[in-house]
Amino acid sequence: MILGSTSVYRRELLSRLQIPFECHSPGVDETPQPGERAADLVVRLARLKAQAVAERHPDAWVIGSDQVALLTDASQHDRILGKPGTPAKCFEQLQACSGRTLAFITAVAVVNRRTAALVEFVDTTRVTYRQLDPATIERYVAREAPLDCAGGFKSEALGIALCESIESNDPTGLIGLPLIRLCAVLRDAGFDLP
């Protein structure tokens, strides 16, 4: 099994299953296409990541995943929040999230080229932020440095202090790899899981 990702968060999640796996960088351009909706973007990128790695390892089961945070404003316009990359961008993203509910959309694709298998699914987690003042955001960004996380938020660490509520069918989905559904897919593929 191969995880088509360089994400330390996804690697840590997948290691919980105690199945041997490798990690390989998919080398996929993650730029959204013009007018691409959030759910379409993450499904496309998860599939591309899995397929890119499967091209190099046709006998392996390859897992690709992608996540975005989706902020819908008062005018019902959607704004996709990816990885902020810089403290200033992270601050700006979190300021926009203050007092709002976001959908964290995570897509997973599991591919095996030899068997022509492709299984895809999407997990959505809703996070409601409490009102965040600038000093709170600055402290959080300085302490956590969540620059590589969609929406600049890490629920598994200090980011939980920014929340009012989290609604989820799978708490690992918010971290970037929904293990409950992934376990079902892997069992169907023949992996020995409880």
Residues 6+ apart with CB under 8 A from 55: 113
How far is the CA of 6 from the CAs of 24, 26, 46, 103, 148, in angstroms?
Answer: 7, 8, 13, 23, 11
- The yes-or-no answer on residue 66 being catalytic is yes
How far is the CA of 136 from the CAs of 130, 131, 141, in angstroms?
Answer: 11, 10, 9
Active-site residue (options: 29, 66, 123, 133): 66
With CA atoms as reference, report the closest residue to 117 among 170, 164, 62, 65: 62
Structure tokens at 194: 């409880």
With CA atoms as reference, report the closest residue to 191 among 33, 61, 49: 61
64 in Cβ contact with 4 (< 8 Å) = yes
Catalytic sites, residue numbers: 66
